[in-house]
Amino acid sequence: MPSGRIKDWSALTEANVEIRKQGTPICSGTVDAVTEDGKILWIHSTAEGRRLFEKSAFFEVARRRTPRVPLQAGGRLSAGRVLPAPSLPYHLWLPPDRNGGHR
């Protein structure tokens, strides 16, 4: 969820942002680079690659909250880090069934 419109683009390098065109979200990702005057920025999006946006009357930038780190299969979260899955066969990760055996 975006946290608000940003007027000065010059200090956004490496920020997680959303680009809107006349209020409609069109792209989100990490700011890869910004010109010194803050009029042009490049966004890297995993879905769309690298895109350039010029500051104008209809483009706006909003900072996004840091995304949560998804847990990997079998991994567990500890102090904000994903720990590796145990090196057991997948069927042993499952809880035992009612009869005491594994599924």
Indicate the SS3 state at residue 21.
strand
User: 37-93, pLDDT tens digit by residue?
Assistant: 999 999 998 888 899 999 887 889 998 876 555 545 554 544 555 555 555 555 555
Query: How many CA within 13 A on the CB side of residue 46?
Result: 1
When pLDDT is cut at 50, 70 and 90, the band that residue 33 belongs to is: very high
Question: By CB neighbour count within 10 A (0-12 exposed, 13-18 middle, 19+ buried), where does 34 fall?
Answer: buried
Indicate the SS3 state at residue 92.
helix
Q: What is the Cα–Cα distance from 28 to 18, expressed in whole angstroms?
A: 4
Q: What is the Cα–Cα distance from 27 to 48, expressed in whole angstroms?
A: 8
Domains delineated in the chain: 2-64 (2.30.30)
Taking the whole predicted model, whether its pTM rises above 0.85 is answered as no
Tell me: pLDDT of 5 over 70.
yes
